[in-house]
Structures are given as structure tokens and as C-alpha cells.
Amino acid sequence: MVRSLAQLAALALLATIVRRAEASGVALMPMPANVAMGSGRLVIDASFSAHIEGYTDRRLQAAVARLETRVERRTGIPLQHGGPAVLIVECRGGGPEYPSLSEDESYRLEVTESAAHLTAPAVTGALRGIETFVQSIAVDGQSFYAPVMRVEDTPRFAWRGFMLDVARHWMPLPVIERNLDAMAAVKLNVFHWHLSDDQGFRIESKVFPKLQRVGSDGNFYSQEQVREVIAYARDRGIRVVPEFDIPGHTTSWFLGYPELASAPGPYQIERNWGIFVPVMDPTREEVYKFLDAFIGEMAGLFPDLFFHIGGDEVLDTQWKNNPAIQAFARKNRLGSSAALHAYFNRRVQALLAKHGKQMIGWDEVLAPELARDVVIQSWRGQKSLAEAARGGHRGILSFGYYLDHMQPASMHYLVDPLSGDATALNTQEVALVLGGEACMWTEYVNAENVDSRIWPRLAAIAERLWSPREVTDVRSMYARMDVVSKALEWTGVQDRPGIDMLERRSGAGDGPLRVLVNAVEALGIDQRQKARHYNSFVPLNRLADAASPESEFVRHLEQIVADAPMDSAVRGELQLVFSLWSQNAGELQDVLNSRFFLVEAAPVSKDLSRIGDIGLRALQYLESGAEVPRDWLAEQRQELDRAMLPGAEVSLGAVRPVRALLDILMPSGRSGNPPGSH
């Protein structure tokens, strides 16, 4: 039993290492355009109250009421209400009741020792300023307080979005609502709701009720729930853009309405992941009649000006095999499947225009005759964004912001909508780049763990889209992200790795399991689809589903190694971690072998212990100052490369700090990777 205690300390170590980052004080994220910290504090206690001065409306009142509740929760102090204002919120006007792309989101927040004054041209700006005020609340030995400061802030991009796929795995209403709260906290303003796909049709249609009745397994949002979500988002300054992906990705439509398809049915709900053959028939007027009625219904439900029609990954197998479609194509001089798709898009765009909506599509919809007001969402590269702009289309960037690829926050953070091909754009073209959108596709994610794959990385993307272009310090971003990540938990999102769930399910409250989870990182969609045949029935209850995309623990270790000089305290700390890793496999063996869904993790666990051993030997060399044999170094590097190979659908992030340590031992001296890079 005693020998296990060293092991268990690793878990505890996480707390200490993280604490260091958290000691950094007020962490604003996204970083405001201008912020000047003063000295002194505005005390936040039971007398706190927020008053509206001047313009007022229901949305602003609701936001101020929520703010008071949040201050109560944050501090644990019941507010007495009724006293003089501590925070004064003053808008010059209302702005649109439902948020719009062109609205003014700027605000100014001045905190003095006696009061805080938030001013904004319109309500949405006040909403953003309230978030900054909440983020600024800190605590010390005297009180909770907001530091004296002056913030003048406005976003860099007008379109700062997050897309969630609710088709491949169903996301119940509470998932949506808590993520809207978290989005608001980091000033995101577009929720792109991917509502239909081959695997499910997730919204009630009253005009075509078979869509949800036979196409959803019973998992869909009622129109009442959709209105609730829209109101919830609107109150937080977030637009809701629905996506109905057509003409491909439409299997779920065809269960109830096979006449829309390009080949006869019957169809079944798709249970696999991938790109599938079923596609709408672009040649039949009945299809456009259906879409006219459907778009009309949905246009009445969703107040946003924009309407997403997907348009990605269209396979032409059914078109090619259907003589009537081919005849139509010949007759109408649509000489290729691309031309057929473009024809379909033009027809759909006309329907949208008729119902007062502007179209958005994934970058496949970009074609010469496309209406100018169509917005292009670029997912295959930045090139299409630049092409779109040159063609006079507005665009939003998603390439580089795919959260399901499980890349580190730093990678996403350094993707700028105006970098790459966009650097060659002229001023007018640059103005057409509206911003960006992070995407969460849900083949390998379910309602249980989706939060931990969205957050906290989405906060880094939010900063990219809000803050000035020059705000690019990765270390500062991570330090603030660690604080914001903790604060986001007040919204109910569960952004930490799913260790609790893993432990609860395995009936084991094990430190060693926690050590393993914190040392590994979940693989992204590309690698998981190669690892086994997935479909919607495969359980997501394994190590890969509990692990983070990016281990906070490993990241902090990397930072320690990068922060040489390596004094004896740092060496001691690393030694303890490596010892724990070294012994962890032995500790964990029984647990893994007696939980069938963890058996596959045993080799990863053994690799972690080997990495620990390498780290321990490296530390010995470092301490003794002895010459390190080149052969030994080469061998260990090979061993690390091998250990880095995925197993159990995770990657051993723990390799990185050890590799950086070996770099320090290199006779040529230090050449470690910067923290956060993979």
C-alpha cells in the first residue's frame, strides 16, 4: 500500500502545478481591445447591485438580473438588493431586439473604487461588457472585488461562431443552453445549429411531420423548444443560424419522403459515419415545391437573416445512375455533377430569397453564377475563403477551427482568418471576411463528453475572433485560458476530462486511473475512424472518451521543462512525476484488467511507465553532469517515438516533456519545443 502513495501524489501534483497558473490574478478572455489596469478595488459584497440608467428594455433588464444572480453564485453572498448602484449600466439605445451581423457590440467599462460604469451604444455591447465585468471579479484576504480599470472594447470580427452537430449524436436541450451561456462568457455571437444529416432529422416540422417522426429515433427539438433556444441565445446576444444540409447528407429526410431522393427507397437512418450516396433529386419540381414549403416554415421559426443549406460532400452516384436526371442534365446543358449541384444551389437560393433569407453554404457551393449575397463557410482550406472574397462573396473561416480534430488550443489560436491565402486580398475583399466559426462534429462525441471537447479550447478561438490581431502570445493565452476554464464551470459546462464518469462507471475511485487519464490525449476523428469500425451504437465509455484533447497536466510539465534553468526544486518535482508514471502501470494493472472497457488501455499504461523510467534516467544525467552517451539518447528517442504511436485511441502526451528533457541533454545544448506544440 505504501509504495502506491508516491503514485497517487501525481494526482495531487496536478493541483499544485495548475495553482501556479491560477495565481496570475484577473484573466480577461478574450483580451479587450484596450485595457488599462489601475490601482485599488471596487468591493463586491452583499450591497452589490446593478442599475440601468437611461435606455432600458426587457433584454437588458434580464441581463442585469442574471448578472446579480451570477455575482451571488460566484461569491456565495446573498445580495441584499435595494441599495445604491455599484454597477451602472447605460446604453445609448436598444439596437435590434434580435442580434444582427451589423450591430455595434462595443462597450466601455470603467471601474473605480466607488462604482463601475458600463456604457454602450446598444444593448448587445452592454451584454459583452457585463461579461468582462464578471470575469474581472477576484478575491483576496479582504473581500471579493473588481480591480480598478478602464476597458474600451470592440470586436475585430462581426461573425464569431460555434457550430454544433446534433445529428450524429443527439444533444438534449440542457447541453445547448449551457453551451450558449459559455459562448456568451467568451463573447461568441453565432450559434450554428447543424440540425439534419444522414443520421437524424432533429427538428419538428409541422408541415412535413414525417421528417422527425421517422427520421429522428424520437430525438428532435419541438418548435417550442427551438423558440426557447432562440430566445435564450438572443438574450445573450447570440444569433442562431440553422443548417439543413442539402442536397447530400439527407438520408434522414428520405425515410419519410423518399420521393425527394434521386433513387427509389426505402431508406433507413444511417448508423455509420462517412459520406453517403443518398442525395436529393435536383431535377424535379416537386423537390423545390417541398423545399419552398419547408424553408417557408423554418424561415418563420428562425428570425436570423442567414440560413445555412450545407452543400458539402455531395456524391453523384445516384445522379449518374438515374436516366431521368441525366436526361435533364443534357437537356439543360448541365454538363457535370458540379453543374447540377450549382443549379440546385441557385434554385434553393432563390427560394431563400423569396422567404427573406440569405444563404450560407460550405465552400463546395462556391460557383461562378452564385448570387453575390451568398456567404461561403470555408472548411477545406483558407484558399476558398480568398476565392470567395475575390468573387465578391462574404466568407467565414472554419478551416483550422475544427474542434473534433482534437488539436491543441495553441494551434487553433494561431489560425487567423486573414492569414494564408487571405493575405493577398485587397481592402475591399478583406472586408468581406466576416470572421470564423469553430465546428464540433459529433461522430466521436456524445452529450456526456461534448463539453470537454468544446471547452476550454473554444475560448482560445473566441479570443482570436474578438481581440486585436496582435494578441498572439500563446503563453499568456494558456495562462488566462486555465482561469477562464475554471470560471466556465459556473455555466454548468463540464470542461474537465471525464475522469469522474470513468471512475463512477468502473466503480473505482483510483488515483492511478487519474494519473493515466491526465497523461494521455484523445485522438481526433481522422485517427479514430482508422482505429476501429465506428457507428452510432459503439459505446463512448473508454479511456479515449474520458481523456482531454489536450492535457493540462502535460502542458504544465512542458512549461516547467521549457522554463529552465532547472534548479533542484524543479528537478525534484519532475522526479516525483516520473516516479509516479514509472510505478503507475503496476498500480493500475488490476483496475484495467477488471474493467472490460479499460482492458485495451493496459499497453498505454505500460508505455507511460517506460516514459517515466526514461525521464528518471534523464534527470540522473542532468544532476550528475556526466556526458550522455549518444547511443543512449538515440535509443531513448526511438523508444519515445514508439510510445507516441497511438494506442487505445489516445496519444501519450506525457512523451513531450520527456522528449524536451532529452533535448536539453543533447551535447549541442538545449533545443526543446516550445510548450503547447505537438
Residue 429 CB, shortest distance to a second copy, in Å, is 44
Residue 466 CB, shortest distance to a second copy, in Å, is 23
Q: DSSP strand E in 155-266: where?
A: 159-165, 190-197, 200-201, 239-244
CA gap 675, 656 in Å, rounded: 9
Give the footprint of a second copy on residues 533-552 (CB under 8 A).
Answer: 536-541, 545
φ, ψ for residue 435 (rounded to 5)? 150, -135
Give the footprint of a second copy on residues 219-238 (CB under 8 A).
Answer: none
Q: 39 or 426, CB closer to a second copy?
A: 39
CA gap 462, 162 in Å, rounded: 9
CA gap 417, 401 in Å, rounded: 10
CB neighbours (10 Å) of residue 572?
A: 11
Select the span of 16-24, 146-154, 272-280, 654-662 touching a second copy (CB under 8 A): 16-24
The angle that helices 173-185 and 457-466 make with each other, rounded to 10 degrees, is: 50
φ, ψ for residue 108 (rounded to 5)? -135, 130
Grid cell listed for 11: 494526482
Select the span of 10-18, 327-335, 455-463, 471-479 touching a second copy (CB under 8 A): 10-18
Residue 217 CB, shortest distance to a second copy, in Å, is 10
* Member of 210, 330, 504, 642 binding a second copy (CB under 8 A): 504
Residue 182 CB, shortest distance to a second copy, in Å, is 15
Give the footprint of a second copy on residues 19-78 (CB under 8 A).
Answer: 19, 22, 46, 74-78
Residue 21 CB, shortest distance to a second copy, in Å, is 9
Q: 4 or 56, CB closer to a second copy?
A: 4
Give the footprint of a second copy on residues 116-155 (CB under 8 A).
Answer: 138-144
Q: From the candidates 313, 448, 489, 503, which is the catalytic residue?
A: 313
Residue 185 CB, shortest distance to a second copy, in Å, is 14
Q: What is the per-residue DSSP string for 574-599?
A: HHHHHHHHHHHHHHHHHHHHTSTTTG
Strands 521-522 and 433-440: unpaired
Q: Catalytic: 204?
A: no
Instruction: Confirm or reject binding of residue 510 to a second copy (CB under 8 A).
Output: yes
CB neighbours (10 Å) of residue 146?
A: 24
CB 346 within 8 A of CB 370: yes
Give the list of residues 6+ apart from residue 446 with CB closer than 8 angstroms, or none.
Answer: 169, 540
CB 247 within 8 A of CB 279: yes
* Member of 322, 506, 551, 582 binding a second copy (CB under 8 A): 506
CB neighbours (10 Å) of residue 565?
A: 5
Q: Determine which helix (DSSP H) or strand (DSSP E) holds 435, and give its type and residue range.
A: strand 433-440
Instruction: Confirm or reject binding of residue 13 to a second copy (CB under 8 A).
Output: yes
Give the footprint of a second copy on residues 555-574 (CB under 8 A).
Answer: 569-570, 572-573
CA gap 664, 337 in Å, rounded: 56
Give the footprint of a second copy on residues 428-467 (CB under 8 A).
Answer: 448
Residues making contact with a second copy (CB under 8 A)? 1-2, 4-16, 18-19, 22, 46, 74-78, 80, 138-144, 448, 483, 486-487, 489-490, 501, 504-511, 514, 536-541, 545, 569-570, 572-573, 576, 593-597, 599
Q: Which residues are catalytic?
A: 313
